Amino acid sequence: MKKRIKIESRAKQRFELELTVHYRLSLKGSTSRWGTGTILDMSSGGISMRCRRPLPVGGHLEMIIDWPATHGGHYPMYLHATGFIVRSGSSKAAMRITSHRFRLEPLAALSIGATA
C-alpha cells in the first residue's frame, strides 16, 4: 500500500487559531445579516472558520475577529477583514481576504446586529 503525501499548495503560511468571529454576509438582492463563528486557521491571504450553516460561494463577507491582544494593555483589539467565500461546507467556510485592518473600537460601535 502506498502512502499519500499531502503537499501544501497554499502560497501563504497558515496559523491555527481558535478566535471568535462575527461576520456579515452580503449578497446581491438580499439583506445582509450577521452571524457568529470560530476561526480555525488563517494566513495573510485567507481565513478558514467554523460556522453554523453553509455560506454561498462567491458571497462577500465582512469579519470582526476578537484579537488576542490589547493596545496599551487596556484597549481590546479587533481585526476587521473583508473578502469573498471560496469554499463552504455544512459547518465550515473559507474566505479569501481582500482587505484587513486592526481596530480599537468595541463591538457595539461596529453596529453588529443580532447573530444568526
Count the domains in the chain: 1
For 59, half-sphere exposure in the C-beta direction (CA atoms, 13 angstrom radius) is 21
Predicted pLDDT of residue 79: 92
Which pLDDT band, with edges at 50, 70 and 90, does 11 fall under?
low
Does 38 reside within a domain?
yes
Mean pLDDT of 34-39: 93
Does 9 reside within a domain?
no
Which pLDDT band, with edges at 50, 70 and 90, does 31 fall under?
confident
DSSP 31: -
Does 2 reside within a domain?
no
Do 19 and 47 meet the contact criterion of CB atoms below 8 Å apart?
no
What is the domain extent for residue 37?
Answer: 33-105
Does 22 reside within a domain?
no
Does 56 reside within a domain?
yes
Q: Which of 39, 44, 50, 47 is nearest to 13 (CA)?
A: 44
Predicted pLDDT of residue 3: 52
12 pLDDT above the threshold of 90: no
Average pLDDT of the chain is 82
> Which are the contacts of 84, defined by CB distance < 8 A and separation ≥ 6?
58, 59, 60, 61, 95, 96, 98
Digit-coded pLDDT (tens) for 37-76: 999 999 989 999 999 999 999 999 999 998 887 778 778 8
> pTM of the full predicted structure?
0.75
Which pLDDT band, with edges at 50, 70 and 90, does 5 fall under?
low
**Cα–Cα distance, 24 to 6 (Å, whole number):** 33
**Three-state SS for 101?**
strand
**Cα–Cα distance, 18 to 83 (Å, whole number):** 20
